[in-house]
Amino acid sequence: MQNSATDPKIRNLVLAGVFAALTYIVFTFLSIPIPTPGGGKVSVHLGNAFCILGVLLLGTGYGSAAGALGLVVADLLDPVYIIEAPITFVLKLLMGLIAGLVAHRLLHIDEQTEHPRILRAAAIASAAALLFNAICDPLARYAYKILIIGKPAAEVTLAVNMVVTIINSVVSVFVVVILYMALRAPLRKLGLIGESLSEA
């Protein structure tokens, strides 16, 4: 029987928990809130970057779940965002799944050994996931507010949300690539990430 300290499932769960916490902290404490009509708000933040970074480092399953849970907890603990927690979970999980599909299934980022190929795979996967987010996040939240919550200021919120989401997405691509390239080698050397994780 494998020692719990070296059990890959335990290690993966612990790392997923760390990334969920990091995503929550970055979104909650390192964001710039922008009030919107009707008492809502949107935020300039790097939460999405940590969602995708988790996917690139931990693999599709653990990384997607960690990012989605981290941002859902942030929503649930904020009175303004709490009503959007369900849509946040769906959108961020899908964003993570797209990043994982591109990085691990299509571009095989864990198998790459040449620096330019690794960089390109990280950039393409991040851009694909964040393009999905930039388009679908504002539209899904708009539909959610109109159909489920019925907010009258949804049209104005949509415009502000689109601009902020595009800013977040562009900045996040650079942050993900920089952090992934910096963390990949040392974490692999420590045996904390690798092919077994990416297949999870």
When divided into structural domains, the chain yields a total of 1
Q: What is the pLDDT of residues 155-176, one digit of tens each?
A: 767 888 888 899 999 999 999 9
The whole domain housing 83 covers: 8-198
DSSP calls for 12-48: HHHHHHHHHHHHHHHHHHS-EEEEETTTEEEEE-SHH
DSSP assignment letter at 114: S
Lowest mean pLDDT among 70-79, 142-151, 160-169, 186-195: 142-151
Overall pTM > 0.85: yes
User: What confidence category does residue 9 fall into, taking pLDDT thresholds of 50, 70 and 90?
Assistant: confident
Q: Is the residue at 1 inside a domain? A: no
> Which helix (H) or strand (E) is 188 found in, with range?
helix 154-189
Q: Is the residue at 78 inside a domain? A: yes
Q: Is the residue at 71 inside a domain? A: yes
Is 130 in contact with 48 (CB distance < 8 Å)? yes
Q: What is the mean pLDDT of the chain?
A: 88
Residue 193: CATH number of its domain: 1.10.1760.20
Q: Is the residue at 63 inside a domain? A: yes
Q: What is the pLDDT of residues 82-140, one digit of tens each?
A: 988 999 999 999 999 999 999 999 999 999 999 999 999 999 999 999 999 999 999 99
User: What confidence category does residue 40 fall into, taking pLDDT thresholds of 50, 70 and 90?
Assistant: low
Q: Is the residue at 22 inside a domain? A: yes
Q: Is the residue at 3 inside a domain? A: no
Residue 150 has pLDDT above 70, yes or no: no
Is 7 in contact with 195 (CB distance < 8 Å)? no
Q: Is the residue at 166 inside a domain? A: yes
Nearest CA among 54, 81, 50, 69 for reference residue 157: 81
Residue 199 has pLDDT above 60, yes or no: no
Q: Is the residue at 93 inside a domain? A: yes
Three-state DSSP class for residue 78: coil
Whole-number pLDDT of residue 149: 66
